């Protein structure tokens, strides 16, 4: 193996290590954003309970919305587990989508709170829109994370070659000058035809 080949291989493995470290940081950031999203859902749950106690005329609609929200929580938990596996490579895009979703959910929750104070008819409408939006964002986030994970997964072969390259690099660093000269002489021999 020549010096340019070794340096190219070393650069390749350095780049691979850098990418793996960057993806690790993205995964940690994605998990933090998933926690923020769960807290937003919990805050909306409190808002729904307050609306249920103050507006008895729409009690049946609010109870139905709470059941839908419980199902959305189950979907959000499933999305979180799936996203945790897929986030190693898809965290950047998913985090951006999640930030937009959280901002939209906050705005939607504020609109729901105002609508509940305006009147019984309008409050039921806002509540239905909020639940539909939350479910749609959960499904879209899950689909995006799943699609990105399928396209960019690190295969066992790639992991094996990366480890093999690290082992070669360690051996070359430990080689004496004489061993390196012998290796270069072997590599410089012409190929037999």
Give the model confidence (pLDDT) of 84-93 as tens digits: 676 555 556 7
Flag whether pLDDT at 3 surpasses 60. yes
**pLDDT digit string (tens) for 110-126?**
777 666 567 656 656 66
pTM (predicted TM-score): 0.24
Same domain, 66 and 101: yes
- List the single range of 46-55, 56-65, 97-106 with lowest mean pLDDT: 56-65
pLDDT at 190 over 80: yes
User: Would the CA dihedral through 91, 93, 99, 104 be positive or negative?
Assistant: negative
129's CB contacts (< 8 A; 6+ apart) are: 108, 112
- 4 within some domain: no
Q: Identify the pLDDT of residue 44.
A: 80
Provide the domain limits for residue 172. 156-193
- 57 and 147 both lie in a single domain: yes
Mark whether 98 and 160 lie in a shared domain: no
Q: What is the C-alpha to C-alpha distance for residues 16 and 14, in angstroms, rounded to an integer?
A: 5
User: How many domains is the chain built from?
Assistant: 2
Confidence of residue 166 (pLDDT cuts 50, 70, 90): very high
* Mean pLDDT on 114-143: 75
The arithmetic mean of pLDDT across residues 61-73, rounded, is: 75
Tokens standing for residue 54: 């103050």
Q: Tell me: pLDDT of 61 over 80.
A: no
Query: How does the average pLDDT of the chain come out, rounded?
Result: 78
- Could you tell me if 142 and 160 lie in one domain? no
Binned at pLDDT 50, 70 and 90, residue 59 comes out as: low
Q: What span, in angstroms and rounded, lies between the C-alpha atoms of 36 and 33?
A: 5
3-state secondary structure of 35: helix
CA distance 85 to 145: 9
């Amino acid at each position: 193996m020549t010096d340019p080949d070794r340096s190219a291989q070393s650069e390749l493995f350095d780049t691979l290590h850098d990418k793996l470290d960057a993806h690790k940081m993205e995964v940690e950031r994605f998990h933090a954003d998933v926690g923020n999203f769960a807290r937003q859902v919990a805050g909306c749950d409190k808002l729904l309970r307050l609306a249920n106690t103050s507006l008895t005329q729409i009690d049946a609609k609010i109870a139905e919305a709470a059941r839908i929200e419980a199902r959305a929580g189950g979907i959000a938990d499933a999305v979180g587990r799936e996203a945790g596996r897929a986030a190693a490579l898809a965290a950047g895009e998913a985090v951006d989508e999640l930030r937009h979703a959280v901002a939209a959910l906050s705005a939607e929750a504020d609109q729901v709170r105002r609508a509940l104070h305006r009147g019984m008819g309008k409050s039921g409408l806002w509540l239905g829109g909020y639940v539909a939006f939350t479910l749609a964002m959960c499904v879209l986030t899950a689909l995006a994370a799943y699609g990105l994970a399928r396209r960019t997964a690190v295969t066992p072969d790639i992991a094996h070659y990366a480890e093999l390259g690290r082992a070669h690099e360690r051996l070359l660093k430990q080689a004496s000058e004489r061993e390196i000269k012998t290796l270069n002489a072997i590599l410089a021999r012409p190929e037999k035809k």
